[in-house]
Chains A and B, each alone.
Chain A
Amino acid sequence: MTQLYFKGESSEITKVQLAEGETVLNGLLRNGVDVPYGCRTGVCQSCIMVSPNNEVPRTAQKGLREVQKQQGYFLSCCCQPKEPMVVSLSDYFKKESTTVLGKEFLSDTVVRIRLSKAICYRPGQYATLWKNAQIARTYSLVSHPTADNFLEFHVRVYPDGVFSNWVKDGMQIGDSLEIQGPMGDCYYTVEDKDQTMLLSGLGTGLAPLFGVARDALIQGHRGRILMLLGARTQEGVYYEKELADLQQRYPNFEVRFSVREMAPEFQARAGYSSDIYTLAKMLMPDLSNCKVFLAGGASFVRKMKRQCFLAKANMGDIAADTFLSFPK
């Protein structure tokens, strides 16, 4: 049992007894304290809090910036304190209001939405979108802050996805919603413009990678940029036109697809291979001095990261954006 002291808006203190292994967020919610939260897995950062003078467990600070860590910020959904702790809400990430400018299907399961430019960001970072005060989801920024005058996100529609089905069926052009962010460090920071870059992702992992590649090209990257995209079926391949346009415009940019369940007519098509890991090894066997960006589900990112590391990419040169599934 750990004692938790929650300092509310008017500095009143609520005392909460945390059960063994219980997170700060769950303890507060269980006691009826109304605090914001989203994914509950440490990604969306909606539940960020601050602890003024306590040691914050390291595991509760993953993904935060160094200055935030030093200032005692932490994610309450990942914080299981062993010592008594004083916590309060932080206004670090203010929510901004944004308007829906466009909505369009990119494939059977991916909807592109465009929102008014309410935040400053780097392509490849992500932001949390709030349907209302309870329902929030996190998506990667595909658009470019200077080249585009909108924010673009790719929303994968899941059969029982509360947020994604609302985007698909309910969201209308002109609607307003709230946005919070940006977050994440999967963006173009390459100082050496001749460095080779490998970007690899599965499914809507395309979103941050497209953002990063386009940003690199706009910033005048000269080195080879290879983008390796994986999908389960041919229908899962989307954004082909935009990728082809980019390829046409920039000769150092190249895209390859890997479709796991390939239809025979595609097997013959040059550049396709059914296993993304094999394809990566074939196309770039040696990743020394290469900058790597990965995006997709946890098992893909883990496996590809390991493979790239063993192919001699430096750990510090591998940036990854792991999409986590939301607990029901």
Chain B
Amino acid sequence: MSVYEAIGGEAAVNAAVDVFYRKVLLDERISEFFDTVDMEEQHRKQKAFLTMAFGGPNAYTGKDMREAHAGMNLTEEHFTAVAEALVGTLNDLEVPQNYIDEIVGIALSVKDDVLNV
């Protein structure tokens, strides 16, 4: 069973998305990337992000991740901030540590693509 299934699949994403989105909006290191006019569209993208980070079904390739984040000049600090928001969210939702570790592993596996290095 994948982490995604273990923590409750789509329901887990739905539970996490508001908490996560609030965290990134309040984090000055990264809020500008997410503080867009269309909150519903941003909400949808964050769900896509969480689904992927939880190891759920998604059609993104490494190349897609490169393209999605190209031109944003993302740095190590940005990545850390997103990872912290992710872990903070999982802690808030009392997700067991072994699953958190696995989710962090998934995020780290796309780090180079996201940072376009």
**Contact check: which of B18, B26, B35, B37 meets A315 at CB < 8 Å?**
B18
Tell me if B's interface is mostly helix, strand, loop or mixed.
Answer: helix
Number of interface residues of B (CB under 8 A): 11
Say yes or no: A302-B37 contact (C-beta < 8 A), given A310-B25, A310-B26, A315-B43.
Answer: yes
In the complex, what residues of B have CB within 8 A of residue A315's CB?
17-18, 21, 39-40, 43
**Contact check: which of A302, A305, A310 meets B22 at CB < 8 Å?**
A310
In the complex, what residues of A have CB within 8 A of residue B22's CB?
309-310, 312
Say yes or no: A314-B25 contact (C-beta < 8 A), given A302-B37, A309-B39.
Answer: no
0/1 interface trace, chain B 11-48, chain A, CB 8 Å (1 if under): 00000011001100110000000010101100100000
Query: In whole Å, how far is A311's beta carbon from the nearest beta carbon of chain B?
Result: 10
0/1 interface trace, chain A 284-328, chain B, CB 8 Å (1 if under): 000000000000000000100110011010110000000000000
Contact assessment for B39 and A305 in the assembled complex, using a CB-CB cutoff below 8 Å: yes
Tell me if A's interface is mostly helix, strand, loop or mixed.
Answer: helix
In the complex, what residues of A have CB within 8 A of residue B18's CB?
309, 314-315
Query: In whole Å, how far is B14's beta carbon from the nearest beta carbon of chain A?
Result: 8
- How many pairs, one residue from A and one from B, have CB atoms within 8 Å of each other in the complex? 22
Of A305, A306, A315, the most chain B CB neighbours within 10 A belong to A315
| Range of interface residues on A (Cβ < 8 Å) | under 10
Query: In whole Å, how far is A61's beta carbon from the nearest beta carbon of chain B?
Result: 13
In the complex, what residues of A have CB within 8 A of residue B25's CB?
306, 309-310
Query: In whole Å, how far is A42's beta carbon from the nearest beta carbon of chain B?
Result: 12
In the complex, what residues of B have CB within 8 A of residue A314's CB?
18
Query: In whole Å, how far is B32's beta carbon from the nearest beta carbon of chain A?
Result: 14
Q: CA A310 – CA B25 in complex, angstroms?
A: 8
B46 to chain A: closest residue by CB: A315
Query: In whole Å, how far is A185's beta carbon from the nearest beta carbon of chain B?
Result: 12
Q: CA A310 – CA B35 in complex, angstroms?
A: 12
In the complex, what residues of A have CB within 8 A of residue B39's CB?
302, 305-306, 309, 315
A313 to chain B: closest residue by CB: B18
In the complex, what residues of A have CB within 8 A of residue B21's CB?
309, 315
A314 to chain B: closest residue by CB: B18
Query: In whole Å, how far is A295's beta carbon from the nearest beta carbon of chain B?
Result: 16
Q: CA A321 – CA B26 in complex, angstroms?
A: 25
In the complex, what residues of B have CB within 8 A of residue A309's CB?
18, 21-22, 25, 39
In the complex, what residues of B have CB within 8 A of residue A310's CB?
22, 25-26
Q: CA A309 – CA B37 in complex, angstroms?
A: 14
In the complex, what residues of B have CB within 8 A of residue A306's CB?
25, 35, 39
Q: CA A45 – CA B25 in complex, angstroms?
A: 32
Q: CA A306 – CA B39 in complex, angstroms?
A: 8
**Chain A positions near chain B (C-beta within 8 angstroms):** 302, 305-306, 309-310, 312, 314-315
- Beyond A309-B25, A314-B18, 9 additional contacts (C-beta under 8 Å) are A305-B39, A306-B25, A306-B35, A306-B39, A309-B18, A309-B21, A310-B25, A315-B17, A315-B21
Provide 22 A-B residue pairs closer than 8 Å at the C-beta atoms, listed in order of the A residue.
A302-B37, A302-B39, A305-B39, A306-B25, A306-B35, A306-B39, A309-B18, A309-B21, A309-B22, A309-B25, A309-B39, A310-B22, A310-B25, A310-B26, A312-B22, A314-B18, A315-B17, A315-B18, A315-B21, A315-B39, A315-B40, A315-B43
The 4 closest A-B pairs by CB, nearest first: A315-B43, A314-B18, A315-B18, A305-B39
